[in-house]
């Protein structure tokens, strides 16, 4: 008997992945968590039946989520990650020697525990001495008194259940309060083809709070048929312009200074949709 993991793009389109083995499955206090072997996609973290990260293409998503803001900021010393319990974002942040402090806020400790057990990059990232993991609600963390950050990376799940708040105006207001002078923030913002309303909503919400927002994209095959978007804001630097020397020093598989700049060149149909 074959087992397949089904991922709905919309009411009419579906992707499916052959499951070779379910390595772990449990119900945590917050969600259903599974780690699966998806064959050519490798080990895969699945939350509430939705793929979060695969061994095969995680590097694309995390490199573009992390290195774009960190290479655009002139001196990213303090970095906050909201979500990201798979530690993929942290694994990319630790490549930046100038970063002095990394705080990660994850609501579900079991996601971190299982990622450290099953995902190849997670254990080394978790052991970096600059990292402090806070277990709790990211929105509550940002609302509280605390340090300001040069870069905030929002590694958000889909906007359902507890993840909805990470796409709303009060969250963006809290982000702004905790950004230091010249700080930048980037969040994932969904599929170009199948979450167009979300992409537009995120950009508009951030424009209302910050005055300007940048949208860029990359291909992450396990997430969607077609490009995946990221949206960022800045209290200083232009997000589309990396520091070429720092960007070129990174040992990356997808990100480069050239890819950084090109990712912001959107086709007319998408630019019209965003600005309409």
Render each residue's pLDDT in the chain as its tens digit; 276 residues: 799 999 999 999 999 999 999 999 999 999 999 999 999 999 999 999 999 999 999 999 999 999 999 999 999 999 999 999 999 999 999 999 999 999 999 999 999 999 999 999 999 999 999 999 999 999 999 999 999 999 999 998 887 777 788 889 999 999 999 999 999 999 999 999 999 999 999 999 999 999 999 999 999 999 999 999 999 999 999 999 999 999 999 999 999 999 999 999 999 999 998 887
* Neighbour tally for 53: CB within 10 Å: 30
106 is in an annotated binding site: yes
Strand pairing report for 214-219 and 227-234 = antiparallel
62 is in an annotated binding site: yes
Residue 83 · residue 170 · CB < 8 Å: no
Rounded to 10 deg, the angle between the 169-178 and 196-210 helix axes is 50
Residues acting as catalytic residues: 155
* Neighbour tally for 101: CB within 10 Å: 14
pLDDT value at position 77? 98
C-alpha angle 204-103-62 in degrees, rounded to nearest 5 = 60
pLDDT value at position 165? 87
86 is in an annotated binding site: yes
pLDDT value at position 163? 77
**Sign of the C-alpha dihedral, residues 114, 95, 154, 148?**
positive
88 is in an annotated binding site: no
Domains of the chain, CATH where assigned = 4-54 (2.30.140.10), 58-275 (3.40.50.150)
72: nearest Cα among 253, 254, 216, 266:
216
State both tokens at 200.
């537009």
146 is in an annotated binding site: no
Question: Residue 35: beta bridge partners?
Answer: 24, 45
Cα→Cα distances 173→3, 122, 183, 184, 272, Å: 43, 30, 14, 13, 26
State how far the Cα of 179 lies from the Cα of 245, in Å rounded to an integer: 25
> What's the per-residue H, E or C state across 143-183?
HCCCCCEEEEEEECCCCCHHHHHHHCHHHHHHHHHHEEEEE
């Amino acid at each position: 008997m074959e087992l397949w993991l089904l991922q709905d793009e919309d009411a009419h389109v579906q992707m499916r992945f052959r499951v070779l083995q379910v390595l772990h499955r449990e119900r945590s206090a917050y969600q259903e968590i599974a780690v699966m072997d998806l064959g050519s996609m490798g080990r895969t973290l699945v939350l509430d039946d939705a793929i979060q990260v695969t061994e095969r293409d995680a590097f694309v998503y995390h490199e573009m989520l992390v290195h774009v803001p960190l290479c655009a900021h002139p001196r990213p010393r303090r970095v906050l990650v909201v979500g990201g319990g798979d530690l993929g974002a942290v694994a990319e942040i630790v490549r930046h020697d100038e970063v002095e402090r990394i705080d990660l806020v994850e609501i579900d400790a079991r996601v971190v525990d299982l990622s450290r057990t099953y995902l190849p990059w997670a254990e080394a990232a978790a052991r970096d001495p600059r990292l402090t993991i806070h277990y709790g609600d990211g929105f509550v963390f940002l609302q509280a008194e605390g340090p300001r950050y040069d870069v905030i990376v929002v590694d958000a799940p889909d906007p359902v259940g507890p993840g909805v708040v990470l796409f709303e105006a009060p969250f963006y207001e809290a982000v702004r309060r905790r950004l230091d002078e010249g700080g930048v923030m980037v969040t994932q913002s969904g599929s170009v083809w199948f979450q167009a309303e979300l992409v537009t909503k995120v950009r508009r919400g951030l424009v209302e709070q910050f005055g300007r927002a940048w949208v860029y994209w990359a291909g992450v095959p396990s997430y969607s048929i077609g490009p995946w978007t990221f949206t960022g804001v800045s209290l200083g630097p232009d997000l589309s312009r990396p520091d070429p020397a720092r960007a070129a020093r990174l040992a990356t598989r997808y990100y480069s200074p050239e890819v950084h700049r090109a990712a912001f060149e959107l086709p007319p149909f998408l630019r019209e949709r965003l600005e309409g």
